[in-house]
Structure 1
Amino acid sequence: MGMQSCLKDALPFAGMVMVECGEIGMVTLSKAAMNTGMSNFVFVVYYNALGTFILLPYYIFHTYRFKRPPLTFSLLCRFFLLGLLGICLVQIFAFMGINYSSPTLAAALGNLVPAFTFLLAIISRMEKLDLQRSSSQAKALGTMVAISGAFMITLYKGPPILMGASPSNSPHPLLLSQQSNWVLGGLLIAMTCFASSIWIIFLAATIREYPDKMTIVFFYCCFGTIQCVIVSLIVERNPSAWTLRPGIEMIATLFSAIFACVFRSSVLTWCLQKKGPVFVAVFKPMGIVIAMIMGVMFLGDTLHLGSLIGSFIIAVGFYAVIWGQAKEKDMAVDKICRLESSTQNTPLLQNIITEDIG
């Protein structure tokens, strides 16, 4: 029984660790593909379309194998909005931001997701906030600290601390950045984080109403792909941009389709059902170290003082929020134990009183 309980807790943790590692790999590959001239709009369309086609046979098998709850028009509208938030807006803004900056900045600002998710959870009443309790104070203060750290990373580079490989010495010249606009990239990624937090809250609410995870994943990926196609056809007018060249572009598209559409979407949806939105959001800080190492080694990025200080500030705020949530969980467990103890003692007192009367 104890082993099953540990395994039950370990599987969501392991799944989210794999998601964060794979996400940094996907971002790095996509940056390399865009540095060869691949349009970020075309990239989003191709890998989401391929991922949806990969999901299609699994969805058909799932529909015939298991009894699916009936679909309603309101549910289809929810899936449409999930695709708009989680795929169309989030991914287009994210890859535009990465194209203007770097995967390291994207990973650092990704720490805004727990802060935004916490704020939205309070607004939607998924989280309770009582400022008289130390746990609530820690969560509120941690959220503000995390946001201030993200602004520091975006607006202040600072002197270089660790120089990346120069274009002439880099073993991976295709991975070197071709354009850089730190502030614009940071603002786009910050917008991505906010939209991602809305998506997490909305997806968690949808899972409560419709618990069939496979159906949710397939439909929001399908709707999101259609939306990306429409947006990309409007924005990307150059016909040659739609040519998928062999090499890094094809590798990035294939990896992103398998990871982002199939693995990441399925694991995130499952973890949201098992653990809730805050659990999913708190794994974002793990990507900073991975992104910094990969950015310096493969992209020729330079590690600046602003990124280091801002990441530290964000981490402090993040762990303050986690401490507050852990303390609230301990308080809830203690309350349940006290209630169970009082319930067990009540029949004993009643028996003693009955015996005395008799």
Structure 2
Amino acid sequence: MAHIFGLDGIHRNFKPHLLMVFAQMGYTFLYFITEASFNHGMNPHVHITYRHIVAGVVMLPFAYFFERKVRPQLTLALFVEIFVLSLLGVGLTLNMYFASLNYTSPTFLASMVNTIPSLTFVIAVVLRLEVLDLQRARGMAKVLGTLVSLVGVMTMTLYKGPIMKNLWGPLIYIQGNSAMHQDWLKGSILTVASCITWSIWYIMQAVTLKRYPAQLSLTTWMSFIGAAQSAVFTVIVQHKRAAWTIGFNIDLWAIIYAGVVCSGLIIFIQLWCTEAKGPVFVTMFNPLATILVAILAFFVLGEKLYLGSILGGVIVIIGLYVLLWGKEGDQKVHVISTEE
């Protein structure tokens, strides 16, 4: 029992948990640096294209040297599968997500993204990729945790409550975008569609990794293919050549950070955790980024924080822990089956 509670046991048992917390911290900083870049005038679709080119270039040497002996041969069928995976994770989803910013608000988007764990769980159960035994306590915990998290998301979305007072002004000031949001219905449809395709992307990762168990190489392929898909979309909707010009400013740093950390390192972490713990486990950490963003935006940027956001965040965390407890039962069953 001693080794379980030692450093080695903690590292082995909670490595996926710690990696996913790190990933959500990376996404939290992404929110602020991309907001500053977009307000500076950066086109979101150009940003998506450039950041995935950067991710592909950075990940390519690691994928080539570290996975030379384990990387399967790329067949036409497997390439088509990776193409669809890239479309769901980059080309289609991210462009719909950022396009919806023109019609809704960042707060609405951040809240809606938290429905992805519930959507992923439902899809995984339907496709029988997720074990659900309602006769056991851990099976009930997964359902209960998913429902509780969804209640927390709905609380953050629908209930504002009183504004929490900040004792000091903003430490950092990011100039807001004064653009008017004119079509809430169109923005809502784009947001919901992006959440659905995102959920399917997480599910498909688990399927593709069984046939192509090389996370670094898969991350590289998705980056390059996703960048090409995004470039085609961007050329269609953005005809100004000046939009592709990047100066030595916040736009460049946002692209480098998003490419290296988020589209490169974090996607690799998510693929590793998906193979180790499943897609539902990975998506259940998504609400942490929203909570961290709200906290930092309140204390550092001086943005408004409502009581509903705090209550919803607490409920989401409770649901997260309940579902993770249920998921640990799957891991124990897997360990027992492999030992047999």
TMscore range, shorter length = 0.7 to 0.9
Contact kept, 8 Å, 1:101 with 1:186, in 2: the verdict is no
Contact kept, 8 Å, 1:164 with 1:301, in 2: the verdict is no
The AA in structure 2 aligned to 1:178 is S
The corresponding residue for 2:62 is 58
CA distance in 1, matches of 2:12, 2:101: 35
The AA in structure 2 aligned to 1:77 is V
Deviations 1:288-347 (CA, angstroms, capped at 9, x unpaired): 3311122224544211233233334433443443343345666x48987xx98xxxxxxx
Q: 1:298 to 1:236 in 2, by over 3 A?
A: farther
Equivalences for residues 229-240 of structure 1 within 5 A: 229-240=231-242
**Match among 291, 294, 311 for residue 293 of structure 2:** 291
CA distance in 2, matches of 1:303, 1:314: 17
The AA in structure 2 aligned to 1:94 is Y
The corresponding residue for 2:207 is 205
The corresponding residue for 2:140 is 137
Equivalences for residues 124-273 of structure 1 within 5 A: 124-162=127-165, 170=170, 172-179=172-179, 181=181, 188-273=190-275
- CA offset at residue 148 of structure 1? 4.1
- CA offset at residue 279 of structure 1? 2.4
- The gaps in structure 1 that reach 5 residues or longer are 341-358
The corresponding residue for 2:120 is 117
The AA in structure 2 aligned to 1:259 is V
The corresponding residue for 1:32 is 36
The corresponding residue for 1:277 is 279
DSSP-derived class of the 2:128 partner? coil
Q: Does 1:321 align with 2:323?
A: yes
- CA offset at residue 243 of structure 1? 2.2
- Seq. identity, %: 30
TM-score, structure 1 as length reference: 0.79
Contact kept, 8 Å, 2:133 with 2:139, in 1: the verdict is yes
Contact kept, 8 Å, 1:204 with 1:276, in 2: the verdict is yes
The AA in structure 2 aligned to 1:40 is P
CA distance in 2, matches of 1:81, 1:189: 20
Deviates more, 1:11-20 or 1:307-316: 307-316
Deviations 1:254-305 (CA, angstroms, capped at 9, x unpaired): 1111112221121111222222223222222322331112222454421123
The corresponding residue for 1:350 is none
Backbone CA RMSD of aligned residues: 3.3
**Match among 35, 45, 52 for residue 48 of structure 1:** 52
- The gaps in structure 2 that reach 5 residues or longer are none
DSSP-derived class of the 2:130 partner? coil
The corresponding residue for 1:347 is none
CA distance in 2, matches of 1:263, 1:200: 16
The AA in structure 2 aligned to 1:83 is S
- CA offset at residue 207 of structure 1? 0.8
Number of equivalent positions: 333
CA distance in 2, matches of 1:171, 1:179: 24
Deviations 1:127-175 (CA, angstroms, capped at 9, x unpaired): 233444444334334433433443443344444234698xxx7554434
- CA offset at residue 117 of structure 1? 1.8
The AA in structure 2 aligned to 1:192 is S
Larger gyration radius, structure 1 or structure 2: 1
DSSP-derived class of the 1:285 partner? helix
CA distance in 1, matches of 2:218, 2:330: 31
DSSP-derived class of the 1:68 partner? coil
The corresponding residue for 1:17 is 21
